[in-house]
């Protein structure tokens, strides 16, 4: 090779190498994805989800103080007290795991729209009820819609919001539900004095408003089945036929035991046994691929210690919520001798305090991405709050029972804000829907009786003899003290279960085939599966073009 050729090669390769170095130097090195920012459409969808979360929770408790008026108007017996509430409870709880699978098969949009229609239809039937059976039927349809609204709201949030940022959004939905469930007895009592039918009728125009918004904005992607027959074959109908009757049987035994029948009665024992056997059979069926190729509750959801612990923690914390929602108003009525309606007002500090603490929990989770400290703090505060509740007496000041409620509320807010992200963290994105549905069911299972706290009224105030009244109040205080000490044990069980979890980094971005469809400007709330960051694509194209130009 002559010197002239060598000089030419150096002159040719030098600029190319230099250009490559310059391109490498200017290429953006993204260590972490940009901060999540929602569009106005995502914000609108989120506000509608909060609205339906509020309505669903409101309707779970709104009939507690209005049932006497409703019973007199439609000539219902004592059984109406039980079944009007239970029909909604059953229908809003047992279909939740199935809703998660349906959301995977048919997408999020259509099932959510159907849930809105069912909720509005059930509300209309309940409002126009002329007999107890018609009211129970309406409440059942309403509950079926509420189940879908509850499950699909969480699923949609997980679709459009990355794991690291979900805490704040989930806390807002939680707060909406807490306010709704607390305001239910108060709103129900007020409307019952005017016209109890508007307790249900008001849901119809509000649901129609939300339906219109979701029709236009909730445009999400999903992988369609080739045919309707293929899609229906993927639905776990057999599992549902085992699960739903088993859960209803279990609920029936737990609810009627000690209330309608003694715990030793066969009418209580038989439903409990059938429920337990049926539940065991359901999970055995779900774990057998040859029988159930497409389970609605896959066993893999519980095979990871972090997810399994997350389900346990939300169950235990839901038991705490149920106990507080039931026994605090009982304390107000039986010890403080206030009316059922006023006891609902006295319970407001618990629900209202959830807002700031849930907001803090969501911020902390998004900022630091660590859920284990939030779980420790949450159950620690719950144990302290329940212990303080055990000290309440007839002489306890207003500041005491308000402050104790705030402490317990803070614990619930931190747990509910962080347990769903931690439960989903180890799981694949394809399991988000069924895991969220299972999480929602477990939460509802632990919180199933909270609706009933003001249904019966208070007979202690009617006792004319002050000595007898004082003795009855003392019985209430002692019995409630035992309940709160048991709740301390429940909270401590959650506290000692937290170390079983392990820390998993919460992603600031995620890929899902169920994300919002791209708008005309090409913007979405996040990437769908298979999409690449536009900046990365542009950078690679520019680099390739520059090299080709220099080489040429």
- Name the residue among 387, 361, 408 with its Cα closest to residue 481: 387
What is the structure's pLDDT at 487? 94
Please give the pLDDT value at position 145.
94
pLDDT band at 464; cut points 50, 70, 90: low
- Return the H-helix or E-strand segment holding 494: helix 466-497
Alpha-carbon dihedral sign for residues 283, 285, 286, 288: positive
Mean pLDDT, to the nearest integer, of 494-521? Answer: 74
pLDDT of 32:
55
Asked if 316 and 490 touch (Cβ cutoff 8 Å), the reply is yes
- Higher confidence at residue 523 or residue 465? 465
By percentage, how much of the chain surpasses pLDDT 70? Answer: 80
pLDDT band at 9 (very low <50, low <70, confident <90, very high): very low
Residue 374, pLDDT above cutoff 90: yes
Helices (H), strands (E): how many in the chain?
21, 2
Q: How far apart are CA 161 and CA 218, in angstroms?
A: 14
pLDDT recorded at residue 79: 60
**How does residue 15 score in pLDDT terms, banded at 50, 70 and 90?**
very low
Higher pLDDT, 419 or 9: 419
Domain residue extents for the chain: 40-219+294-298+305-511, 237-293
The answer, yes or no, to whether residue 254 has pLDDT greater than 90, is no
pLDDT, residue 190, reads 80
Task: Give me the pLDDT at residue 165, please.
Answer: 80
Chain CA centroid to CA 447, Å: 11
Greatest extent of the chain over all pairs of C-alpha atoms, in Å: 122
- Exposed, middle or buried by CB within 10 Å (0-12, 13-18, 19+), for 117? middle
C-alpha distances out from residue 302 to 289, 305, 501, Å: 16, 7, 13
Q: Select from 324, 358, 316, 448 the least CA-distant residue to 176.
A: 358
Q: How many CA atoms, within 13 angstroms, populate the side-chain half-sphere of residue 541?
A: 7
Averaged pLDDT, 157-180 = 82
Would the pLDDT of 465 be above 70?
A: no
Question: What is this structure's pTM?
Answer: 0.78
pLDDT (mean) for 506-524: 58
Mean pLDDT of 32-54: 79
Residues 410-463 pLDDT 10s: 999 999 888 988 888 888 878 888 888 888 888 887 675 444 444 444 456 555
Mean pLDDT of 272-286: 93
Residue 377 pLDDT > 90: yes
- pLDDT attached to residue 312: 93
Query: What class does CATH assign to 40-219+294-298+305-511?
Result: mainly alpha
Does position 306 have pLDDT exceeding 90, yes or no?
yes
Q: Residue 124: its pLDDT value, please? A: 95
Q: Is the pLDDT of residue 515 over 80?
A: no
Q: Is the pLDDT of residue 509 over 70?
A: no
Instruction: Please report, for residues 21, 104, 222, 544, the alpha-carbon distance to residue 548 in angstroms, rounded to integers and kept in the order given.
Output: 15, 45, 39, 6
pLDDT of 20 over the 50 cut: no
Task: Give the pLDDT band of residue 231 (cuts 50, 70, 90).
Answer: confident
Two tokens at 235?
């639905």
Specify whether the backbone of 267 is left (phi greater than 0), alpha (psi in -120 to 50) or beta: alpha
Q: Do 439 and 49 contact (CB within 8 A), yes or no?
A: no
pLDDT for res 373: 94
The more confidently predicted of residues 92 and 32 is: 92
CA atoms within 13 A on the CB side of 461: 11
Confidence (pLDDT) at 281: 94
């Amino acid at each position: 090779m002559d010197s002239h050729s060598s000089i030419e090669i150096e002159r040719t390769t030098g600029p190319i190498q230099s250009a490559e170095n310059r391109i490498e130097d200017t290429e953006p090195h993204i260590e972490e994805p940009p901060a999540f920012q929602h569009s106005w459409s995502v914000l609108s969808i989120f506000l509608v989800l909060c609205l339906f979360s509020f309505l669903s929770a409101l309707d779970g408790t709104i009939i507690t103080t209005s049932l006497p008026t409703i019973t007199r108007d439609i000539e219902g017996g004592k059984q109406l007290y039980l079944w009007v509430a239970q029909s909604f409870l059953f229908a809003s709880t047992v279909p939740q795991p199935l809703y998660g699978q349906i959301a995977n098969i048919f997408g999020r949009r259509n099932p959510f729209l159907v849930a809105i229609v069912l909720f509005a239809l059930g509300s209309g039937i309940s409002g126009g009820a002329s007999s107890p059976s018609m009211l129970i039927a309406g409440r059942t349809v309403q509950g079926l819609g509420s189940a879908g609204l509850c499950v699909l709201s969480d699923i949609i949030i997980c679709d459009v919001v990355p794991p690291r940022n979900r805490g704040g959004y989930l806390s807002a939905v939680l707060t909406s539900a807490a306010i709704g469930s607390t305001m239910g007895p108060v709103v129900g009592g007020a409307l019952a004095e005017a016209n109890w039918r508007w307790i249900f009728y008001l849901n119809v125009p509000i649901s129609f408003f939300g339906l219109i918004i979701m029709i236009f904005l909730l445009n999400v992607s999903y992988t369609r089945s080739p045919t309707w027959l293929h899609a229906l074959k993927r639905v776990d109908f057999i599992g549902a036929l085992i699960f739903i009757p088993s859960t209803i049987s279990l609920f029936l035994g737990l609810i009627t035991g000690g209330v309608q029948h003694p715990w030793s009665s066969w009418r209580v024992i038989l439903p409990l046994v059938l429920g337990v056997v049926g539940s065991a059979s359901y999970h055995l069926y779900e774990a057998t691929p040859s029988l159930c190729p497409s389970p609605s509750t896959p066993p893999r959801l519980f095979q990871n210690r972090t997810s399994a612990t997350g389900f346990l923690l939300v169950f235990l914390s839901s038991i705490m919520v149920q106990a507080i929602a039931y026994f605090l108003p009982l304390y107000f009525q039986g010890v403080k001798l206030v009316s059922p309606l006023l006891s609902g007002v006295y319970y407001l500090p618990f629900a209202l305090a959830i807002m700031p603490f849930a907001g803090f929990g969501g911020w902390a989770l998004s900022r630091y991405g660590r859920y284990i400290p939030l779980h420790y703090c949450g159950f620690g505060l719950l144990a302290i709050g329940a212990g303080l509740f055990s000290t309440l007496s007839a002489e306890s000041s207003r500041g005491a029972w308000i402050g104790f409620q705030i402490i317990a509320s803070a614990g619930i807010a931190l747990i509910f804000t962080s347990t769903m992200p931690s439960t989903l963290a180890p799981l694949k994105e394809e399991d988000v829907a069924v895991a969220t549905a299972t999480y929602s069911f477990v939460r509802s299972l632990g919180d199933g009786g909270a609706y009933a706290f003001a249904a019966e009224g208070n007979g202690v105030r009617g006792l004319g003899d002050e000595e007898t009244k004082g003795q009855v109040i003392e019985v209430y205080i002692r019995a409630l003290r035992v309940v709160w000490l048991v709740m301390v044990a429940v909270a401590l069980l959650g506290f000692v279960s937290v170390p079983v979890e392990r820390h998993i980094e919460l992603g600031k971005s995620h890929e899902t085939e169920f994300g919002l469809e791209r708008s005309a400007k090409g913007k979405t709330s996040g990437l769908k599966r298979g999409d690449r960051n536009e900046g990365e694509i542009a950078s690679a194209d520019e680099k390739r073009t520059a090299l080709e130009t220099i080489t040429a």
